[in-house]
Structure 1
Amino acid sequence: MGAIRLANVEKWFGDLQVIKGIDLEVEDGEFVIFVGPSGCGKSTLLRLIAGLEEISRGGIEIDGKDVTAEPPSGRGLSMVFQSYALYPHMTVRENVGFGLKTAGMPKAEIDQKVNAAADVLKLDDYMERRPKALSGGQRQRVAIGRAIVREPSAFLFDEPLSNLDAALRVEMRFEIARLHKVLGTTMIYVTHDQVEAMTLADKIVVLQGGVIEQVGSPRDLYERPDNLFVAQFIGSPKMNILPCAVTADRFELEGNGSGLYPYAGAAALPVKLGIRPEHIQVVESGEGHAQGTVVVAEYLGADTYLYVAIDGLETILVRTDGAEEIAEGRRIGLVFDETRLHFFDADGNSIRS
């Protein structure tokens, strides 16, 4: 079991409040990711759950038991840090089983648990090596193995892939996703990388300034962001945001004069229009809902990213098929997918019909 509940959790460092009354429920077996920019409070929140930081107000329950005052050792959790923290003089086998050995577990039982973890993490061929003979990804798997043998009710990951290069991060994302499917154990994972969040999570918790901006599945956050912050933080490349105005039952881009689609009236009038780069189609100049000039074209193989200076407005990003060659300096028209438009009010909140 690994259900975790946070009730009005606050954390103060002197006069500075870094966690501001967070309520959250993590279901048993869920893969939940805390994501947000640096300083948003995601690592602090994870440390509060782990018991590494003392809660200022509120409470934490694990499987219905109040653990607010419990030390880390009494919470039944295992934590994997950004730093591998492996003992350099020990072999992989000794590193993975060290915690069990210090707890006084019989050697036969330690060997059984260590071998089982090695099998799950595909470390069998490296068990007699020392950390200096391992790659970064292999070292991180050893650190995860050390957590697995404790058979925790939940795993806590604090930016575990940030020390790896791009190729290894992709490989380890796959390994962690596979591990979750094999073990079925609750996992809470902290990252600033929204690509990791989108590819790994059952549920994403978007944090900003010590508060939760939105909680939902990757698809929910991508397709139905609650506000401008979530709209631009989730999705790579990020959503384009343009000023717009409503006249009668239509809206247009401010400063551009391009009338777009009919606008179904709502309680609040939109002042911002959001459209993701992949939801804009390139057409011939003079056609479409906006006109612009290609300033920069970034060819990435399967895709090409076009930075387009829209007449009367700022530069926006358009994602196109890499097979289509569009030269810098070319005049183009843009068509916005009317089913994929997002509107935001003056406070930055999403307007939904």
Structure 2
Amino acid sequence: MGAIELKAVEKWFGDVQVIKGVDLSIQDGEFVIFVGPSGCGKSTLLRMIAGLEETSRGQVMIDGRDATAEPPSKRGLAMVFQSYALYPHMSVAENMGFSLKTAGASKAEQAEKVAEAARALRLEDYMDRRPKDLSGGQRQRVAIGRSIVRDPTAFLFDEPLSNLDASLRVEMRYEIAKLHQQLASTMVYVTHDQVEAMTLADRIVVLSAGIIEQVGAPKTLYERPDNLFVAQFIGSPKMNVIALPCDGLRLEGAPANAAHLGIRPEAITIGSKGQGEIDGTVDVAEYLGADIFLIVDCGAAGKLTVRTHGEDELRPGAEVGLSFTPEKRHFFDGAGLAIR
């Protein structure tokens, strides 16, 4: 079992409160990802679960027991850090089995669990190598394997892929997703990378300034954000937001209390000037192969990002009209809360 529950947890550093009464339930076997801007408290919250940071107030429950005062070694959790922290003088097999050795496990048990982890992570061909002879992705797999052999209650990942280049991050995302499917273990993961969050998570926890802004499945957060912060944080490129009322905006059907209109780049279609909700001039065209992102200067509404097909031929300076898909419009009140 690997259920984790946070009950009104707070973290203070002197007079500064960085975690402000967070409540969160993580189910056994769930993959939950913490995201948010730098300084929002996501890594601090993960370290509080691990026991590496003291919980100032509230409770950390693991499998129904109060683990708030327990040291990290008693919580049954395994943490994978941004740095691999492998022993350079040890082989891959020795690195992976070291925690079992120090715990007094027999050589047979060590060999069995290390071999099982190696198969899961496709490391069988590297067991005799030293860390210096491995790629970054292979080192990260060894670090994960070192955690697997301990058969933990849950895995905690603190930005494990941030040191890897783009191609290796893609590879390791696949490895971690497959690992979660194989092990069916609880995983709590911190990242600043939205692609990691959207592709890996069962649920995403969006944090800002020590509070939870919204918790939900990636699709829910993308399509039904609770507030302006989540609307603009989730999604790349981010949601376009127009303050209401706005000169030049031909908008019908807006709620009376709407202070902002949000529209995703892919929910805007390009037409002739005078058509749709607003006119603008193409400022920049970013060609990405299958897609083109157009930055359109719409005067008082600001610069809106439009996602179009890669075969479109619009050039900077072209005058266009933008139409917003009616069912994809998002409205927010003066406090930034979604109007349903």
**TM-score (normalised: structure 1):** 0.95
- The structure 1 residue matched to 2:273, chosen from 285, 292, 296, is 285
Which amino acid counterpart does residue 181 of structure 2 have in structure 1?
Answer: K
1:351 maps to 2:324: no
1:38, 1:183 → 2: CA distance? 31
User: What are the residue-to-residue correspondences of 1:237-316 with 2, within 5 Å?
Assistant: 237-245=237-245, 254-256=246-248, 258-263=249-254, 269-316=257-304
TM-superposed deviation, 1:192? 1.0
Structure 2 equivalent of residue 248 of structure 1: none
Query: How is 1:83-162 mapped onto 2 (pairs within 5 angstroms)?
Result: 83-162=83-162
- Give CA-to-partner distance per residue, 1:304-346, whole Å, 9 cap, x none: 0000001333111111001112111111111100000001111
Residues in 2 aligned to 1:313 and 1:19: alpha-carbon distance in whole angstroms = 36
Partner of 2:199: 199
Cα distance, 1:286 vs. partner? 2.4
Tell me which amino acid in the other structure corresponds to 1:187: M
Of the three residues 310, 314, 339, the one matched with 1:322 is 310
Deviation at 1:27, TM superposition (A): 0.3
Q: Aligned pair 1:173/2:173, yes or no?
A: yes
- Matches of 1:295 and 1:80 in 2, distance apart? 44
Q: Distance in 1 between matches of 2:315 and 2:114?
A: 57
**For residues 301 and 51 of structure 2, what CA distance do their matches in structure 1 show?**
49
CA-based RMSD of the aligned residues comes to 0.9
Compute the displacement of 1:295 (Å).
Answer: 0.5
Does 2:326 correspond to 1:338?
yes
Q: CA deviation at 1:263?
A: 3.2
Give the letter aligned to residue 320 of structure 1: T
Report how far residue 264 of structure 1 moved.
Answer: 5.1
Indicate the percent of aligned positions where both proteins have the same amino acid: 67
Structure 2: gaps (5+ residues): none
Q: 1:84-143: per-residue Cα shift (whole Å, max 9, x none)?
A: 000111110010001111111101110000000000000011111111111100000000
Question: Residues of 2 paired with 1:305 and 1:263: CA distance?
Answer: 26
Number of residue pairs matched?
340
User: Is the Cα–Cα contact under 8 Å of residues 250 and 278 in structure 2 kept in the other structure?
Assistant: no
Give the aligned residue type for 1:154. Answer: A
Partner in structure 2 of residue 216 of structure 1: 216
Letter of the aligned partner of 2:316 in structure 1?
E
Q: Distance in 1 between matches of 2:300 and 2:78?
A: 54
Task: Structure 1 unaligned segments of length 5 or more: list them.
Answer: 246-253
Other structure's SS at 1:343 match: strand
Contact 1:290–1:311 (8 Å) recurs in 2: no
Matched position secondary structure for 1:312:
helix
